């Protein structure tokens, strides 16, 4: 470890799947900027979820004290898990697979990639199994639900 220890620097190493991160100055952290060193030895980011996302999201980071291994330097990668809830609860359409509060062509692309798949197949997406009861197959019953929700939007 350096004597005295170096200032601790935090690096964001991966981004959340269903939201964005900004540093303390409001700078959006992008995929192309990874690993992103937080400015001025700060250790805080602001997470903003996609508008209709409810569930868990995560990102990873590392800390660095400028030392040398094995007593210092870059830490192991750590995961931050965020439990996203809404108040009041939203009721997003089941076919809103990208959680942007609208069922549109991007959701259709996600649905079509899973079309006619069953659980265990590489292209099966359980989020696309939207007909009740769920039958672990993306089929005509799910397409009917998707079509009924087409262009549905909540604000």
Window from 83-87, 98-102, 128-132 with minimum mean pLDDT = 83-87
Rg of the chain on CA atoms, in Å: 20
Query: Could you tell me the two tokens for 40?
Result: 């001025």
Percent over 70 (pLDDT), the chain? 95
Buried b (16+ CB within 10 A) or exposed e, 111-131: beebeebeeeeeebeebbbbb
Q: Which domains does the chain have, with CATH numbers?
A: 9-84 (no CATH), 91-155 (2.60.40.4130)
Statement: residue 23 has pLDDT above 80: yes
Statement: residue 4 has pLDDT above 70: no
Task: Tell me what the pLDDT averaged over the chain comes to.
Answer: 92
């Amino acid at each position: 470890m350096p004597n005295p220890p170096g200032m601790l620097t935090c690096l964001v190493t991966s981004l959340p799947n269903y939201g964005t991160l900004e540093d303390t100055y409001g700078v959006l952290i992008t995929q192309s900027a990874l690993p992103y060193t937080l400015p001025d030895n700060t250790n805080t980011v602001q997470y903003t979820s996609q508008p209709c996302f409810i569930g868990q999201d995560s990102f990873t980071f590392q800390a660095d004290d400028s030392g040398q291994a094995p007593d210092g330097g870059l830490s192991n990668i750590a995961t931050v898990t965020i439990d996203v809830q809404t108040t009041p609860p939203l009721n997003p359409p089941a076919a809103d697979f990208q959680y942007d509060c609208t069922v549109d062509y991007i959701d259709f692309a996600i649905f079509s990639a899973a079309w006619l798949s069953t659980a265990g197949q590489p292209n099966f997406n359980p989020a696309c199994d939207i007909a009740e009861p769920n039958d672990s197959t993306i089929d005509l019953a799910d397409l009917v639900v998707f079509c009924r929700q087409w262009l549905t939007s909540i604000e």
